[in-house]
Structures are given as C-alpha cells and as structure tokens.
Amino acid sequence: MLRRRARTLDVIAVLTLGLVPLSATAEEAPATQANSQTLPSIVVAPVEEKNLVDLVVATGTIKAVEEIYVQPQVEGLQISTLSADVGDEVKEGQVLATLSTDSLVLQKGQLEASRAQSLASVAQLQAQLLEARASADEATSQRNRAVTLNAKGSVSTAAAEQADAAAKSALARLKAAEQGIIAAEAGIKVIDSQLANIELNLTRTEIKTPASGLIATRNAKVGAIASASGQPLFTLIRAGEVELVADVTESDILKIKPGQKATIRVAGASEPLTGSVRLVSPTVDQTTRLGSVRISVDEDAKARAGMYGNAEIVLGEAAGLAVPLSAITADKDGVIVRVVRDGTVHQVKIETGIQDGGFIEVKSGVAKGDEVVAKAGAFVRNGDHVNPVKQAQTQ
C-alpha cells in the first residue's frame, strides 16, 4: 500500500515538473510517440511582410515609333549624288541626295525664250492697237459727218451707209487688237507660271529630310531614275525613337494602362532596359485572342528595330503581409487560408491583393507571424488536429 502511494506521488511530481522518471521511461515513452505519429504532418508557412510587385510578361519585336519615307517630288530625274547612308543621324532640312538639273535647265531656257517672244508679240499688238484705234476714230468721225450731210441732202444715202460700214469695220479691228493683246498677256502669265514651276522643281532636286531622325534604309542609287511611285529613297526613324510592340493575352490587356513602367530585355543586351507603356491596343485579335501593347524604350541607342524582346510590365506595387499562393483556396464564401494554432486548423476568410510570383498579398484576415497550411490545404478541415512542420524543414 505504501509502495503504491509512493509511486502515485512520483507521477504527480513528473507531471508538475515536465520530467520523465527513469523508472517510467520504458512505459510512458512508447505511448507518447504513438500519439504523435497518429497526427498528420502538414507543411506550414509563416505570414510575413514582403515587398510585392504585380507583373505582366509580354514578348514582341522592337519597331520604330514612327517611320518617315523620303520620296522625290520631281518625277523622271536621274539621281546624281548621295550624301547620307544607313545609320546616319540627320537633321530636319538636311540634303540627303541631289537630282540632275539638266532637263529642267533646258526647259527653263525654252520657256524664257517663249516669254521673250510673247513680250515682243504684245509690243507689236499694242502698236497695231494704236493704229486700229486711230482708224476707228477717223471712221467714226466720217460716219457722223455723212449722217449729218445726208440729213441735209448734201450726201446720198448710199455714201452715208458706206461711211457707217467703214466705221463698224474699224471698230471691229480695234476690238480684235484689244483681244489679241489680252490673249498675248495671258500667254505670258502661263509662261510665268511654268517658269515658277521649273524654279520650284529646281529647288526640289535637293532631296531633304522633312524631320530629324536615323536613316534605317536607303534604296537610292546614283544613276537611278527617281520616281515618287516606287520605293522610298530613304526610310527614317523619327528622332531615332524605337519601342517594343508586344502581344499580351486578352485577360491581361485590361490591366495594362498607358504610363505603367516596364523592364525590357532584348537579345544581346547585358542589362535590361527601362521603358513605359505608350499605347494599348483597343482591339484584340479574334483568332489569337491577343492584343498589342506599345512600350517606349528610354535608351533608344541600346535597341535596334527588328530585335526580339520581352517586357515585364509593372501593374502595381505593395508592401504588406503575404502568404504562398499555394496556401489559398476559394470556396462559395470567398478566398480562405487555413491557420494552424496550437496544432489545430482554423479556416479563415481573407482579402487578397496583388500577386508576385509564388506569393500573394493578404489585406485582412491574418496577422504577421501566423502559420498557414502551405500545401494540401484542401485535405484538412476546420478543427482538424495536425502536426505542423515548418516549410524551412522541408527544404
């Protein structure tokens, strides 16, 4: 009886001090291990603070923001000189090529000769006009006298009629002389306009760039006949500005807005380039279900049109609590995580924010330091007892 009482006191001491007596180790330890092994081991991860960045990755091709075609404004002239080549940076108004002026100079000489001849004709017509006006005045005076004398009976009616006819003929010749001068002066104006056109074409034989930029292609060749209907003589990239024209899915394109920052990587570049979204296409291709996004490149000299590139477009940034993406599940009540406290699973509804890789922002529902079921959350229920294993121990 005394032995049994002493043993009871030993057990009370063990429970109070958290120690296992040597005499009880062989009996009690197997029971404790068996109880631990009956609980499922569940990997848990802590709720921690992180700087999160929500990204959309897009791929595409580097292209010119705006291409400028340089075409001749005079048809049928031969290219005589070239003063620019591919890769040259040119300024607005700079001469890129010149056309032969031989035919235009010849036409100008012919027109100037025609103008001089027309001026001489006008002078001659003006002299004839003076003579016609004098004749008309004399004929009119004779007709007036004949009419007066006919009324007095001194001149026959036939003579009066003859004087009237002579006067009308003289007036008609005067009118014709005046019209001749008007026509000749009009002809001079036509020649003047043709000369002005020749002068304009002579200035256009210097082919100039309409804007500053970088020459991307040159089709012009010395000796070739320039034509405005053919290929452009030069193609310029305005101000050398290039951009990445990338394709994104229809689900992502709604998240992208002009002005959002982007990190661009192109083939051959050791460091990524920076840029920003310039334009978002208002349409999506009905076949591919992709829409285009144009991302301007800050350092144009480090990229070339035609290069393949990809971009990470920053949709949003946040600093706050985050959990692994694998820890969340969705049900009819919303988005939930399973928090493990003292070995017991508690299902908690949360509000999520932006996603960054394998982590997602949690705006409410959990606190820093909470441990959540990192994986296989669908296999445990609210109130289940588990053996939590920290995620670091599984690596």
Judging by beta carbons within 10 Å of its beta carbon (0-12, 13-18, 19+), is residue 322 exposed, middle or buried?
buried
For 318, residues 6+ apart whose C-beta sits below 8 A from its C-beta are: 51, 52, 54, 353, 354, 361
Q: Which 8-state DSSP code applies to residue 44?
A: E
pLDDT computed for residue 148 by the predictor: 82
Task: Write out pLDDT tens, residues 240-284.
Answer: 999 999 999 998 999 999 999 999 999 878 889 999 999 999 999
Q: Which of 269, 292, 322 is nearest to 49 (CA)?
A: 322
Whether 28 has a pLDDT exceeding 80, the answer reads no
Tell me the C-alpha distance between 79 and 85, whole Å.
15
Tell me the C-alpha distance between 155 and 173, whole Å.
26
DSSP string, 299-328: -GGG--TT-EEEEEEEEEEEEEEEEEGGG-
Q: What is the dihedral of CA 363, 365, 368, 373, to 10 degrees?
A: -110
Q: Where are the domains of the chain?
A: 41-51+318-394, 57-64+239-317, 69-98+206-236, 102-204
Whether 37 has a pLDDT exceeding 70, the answer reads no
Give, in words, the CATH class of 69-98+206-236.
mainly beta
The tokens describing 270, both together, are 């050791």
Task: Write out pLDDT tens, residues 99-126.
Answer: 999 999 999 999 999 999 989 988 888 8
Judging by beta carbons within 10 Å of its beta carbon (0-12, 13-18, 19+), is residue 153 exposed, middle or buried?
exposed
Determine the topology of domain 41-51+318-394 in CATH. 2.40.420
| Helix, strand, or coil (residue 283) | coil
List of E strands, 67-191 = 67-70, 79-82, 89-90, 95-99
Task: Write out pLDDT tens, residues 129-149.
Answer: 888 888 888 888 888 888 887
* CA of residue 374 relative to chain centroid, distance: 44
pLDDT computed for residue 1 by the predictor: 40
Band (15; pLDDT cuts 50, 70, 90): very low
pLDDT computed for residue 3 by the predictor: 43
Predicted TM-score (pTM) of the model is 0.65
At 20, the amino acid letter reads: V
Task: Write out pLDDT tens, residues 50-97.
Answer: 888 888 999 999 999 999 999 999 988 999 999 999 999 999 999 999
CATH code, residues 57-64+239-317: 2.40.30.170
Number of H helices, E strands in the chain: 6, 21
